[in-house]
Amino acid sequence: MNFPAKIRPDAEHHEIDIAETLRILWKQRGIILLFAALSTSVAVAYVLLAQPQYKVQSYIRPVASADLDTLNETGLYTIKPEEALRRVGASMESYDVRLKFFKSNPQLLAPLQAPGQTIEEVFDKFNLKAFTLDQIDPKKTANLSEAIQLGVEYPSGVDGVAIANNFTDYVVKREKEKVEADLKTLITNRTEQVERKLLSKKAAYDAEKDSKIADLLEKDQLKKETLQDELKALRQQLQSRRQNRIKQLDEAITIAKKLGIVTPTTPSALGDAGETRQGNMIRTEVSNQQIPLYFMGQSALEAERATLVSRNSDDFTEPRVDEIQKELNLLANNRQVALLRQRSNEELFLKGLGEIREELAHLKNLHINFDQFNLVGIDKIASPPESPIKPKKALIVGMGALLGFLMGILVAVVRGITHPKIVRQE
């Protein structure tokens, strides 16, 4: 027969007796105070022996757009205020720029430099935690404009204010020098480009002028040769015409001799030569046919033939010969070619010369006074701090006292649990 198991109502319960615990702690208050005193002493010793750390800050903001107009209006170099600020910030963040700054100002790190230690080694150690660079975004903060905050943390004995301010001036000056160098390079390159353009235009003009002169001379030469060919053909034609006339005269002289015609006569007069007529008579002869040449009579025909045979030139018989000679004389000197060759200042005839000269004059007279040029604005320079940021004395001493007090309580509680008789006796 099975019976249900009985649950013991007097089950053991472990409870903490607060009053008893407080009595135990009060009896061991010496231990608690001892630990608190020791911990506080250690904290005070650390505060007194720790090297104070200070921090200074400077603020850099972009300049107004009008301050950069002198540079932007050159047309060669364009930079916005925000871009200039970012360039300065990137330079401040550069390890190489920082190292060059301290190499040129080694006295700033001299208090930290141990004997035999190089400036690079001191800088490497100082650079790990000294510099902080924060970019202030107006979209994420209450600031109305973008800015860069440079922070320098340094131990006592180091002139952190000089480091922050001199480094800021060094970076800004360095960036201004880079902008100036870039602008001078651009001006030099642009000037060389425009001068090469001018030389190219001169070469093109010379080639065009030579081509035009050659074309004009070629046309003149072609016209000369054409006229000379025409003159030669015309003279041959005149000579042939004279020879034909001589042959015609020879035949007419022969016929006139056979007919006994010595002086000029007509067919009618020749027919009435055997008739005797009395009184004066006027003969009128109308005919639509050309009278043969031999009716001119032997004397006239021989005279004409002799004249034709003795003729040296037939040019005067043709007006076209005079015209050809006139045209050849005009072609002897091409005035347009002479004027092209006599040009003394050929640059005046170059197309676009005015624009090129204007640009060259602008580039050569382009000058910006960078001493009065502000790339960025230093809104706040670093000033000596009123107190160190490290160590925080009150906080460290308070934390030391609190930690010692808690450790004392812990030790007292452990002793009260593990050795209650000893605690009661004490």
Mean pLDDT of 300-304: 90
What confidence score (pLDDT) does residue 407 get? 84
For domain 202-271+289-362, give the CATH number: 3.30.1890.10
Domain extent listing, the chain: 17-50+395-426, 202-271+289-362
Residue bearing the bigger pLDDT, 216 or 45 = 216
What confidence score (pLDDT) does residue 9 get? 45
Candidate from 36-50, 74-88, 143-157, 210-224 with smallest mean pLDDT: 36-50
Q: Say how many C-beta atoms besides its own lie within 10 A of residue 216's C-beta.
A: 14
What confidence score (pLDDT) does residue 2 get? 47
Model confidence at 283, pLDDT cuts 50, 70, 90, reads low
Q: Is the pLDDT of residue 216 over 90?
A: yes
DSSP 390: B
Q: Kindly state the percentage of the chain with pLDDT values over 90.
A: 25
Structure tokens at 370: 């960078």
Which residue's entry shows tokens 């046309």?
Answer: 219
What confidence score (pLDDT) does residue 282 get? 53
Q: Please name which of 331, 368, 29, 383 lies closest in space to residue 176, comparing C-alpha atoms.
A: 368
Q: Please name which of 159, 153, 130 lies closest in space to residue 53, comparing C-alpha atoms.
A: 153
What confidence score (pLDDT) does residue 101 get? 93
Residue bearing the bigger pLDDT, 15 or 53 = 53
Handedness of CA 189, 195, 201, 204 (dihedral sign): negative
- Side-chain half-sphere CA neighbours of 247 within 13 A: 6
Q: Kindly state the percentage of the chain with pLDDT values over 70.
A: 85
Q: Is the pLDDT of residue 15 over 80?
A: no
Top-ranked range on mean pLDDT: pick from 32-46, 331-345, 403-417:
331-345
Q: Is the pLDDT of residue 189 over 80?
A: yes
Q: How far is CA 276 from the centre of its chain?
A: 118
Candidate from 103-107, 269-273, 292-296, 337-341 with smallest mean pLDDT: 269-273
Candidate from 52-56, 117-121, 128-132, 385-389 with smallest mean pLDDT: 385-389
Q: Please name which of 365, 76, 345 lies closest in space to residue 193, comparing C-alpha atoms.
A: 76
**pTM, rounded to two decimals:** 0.62
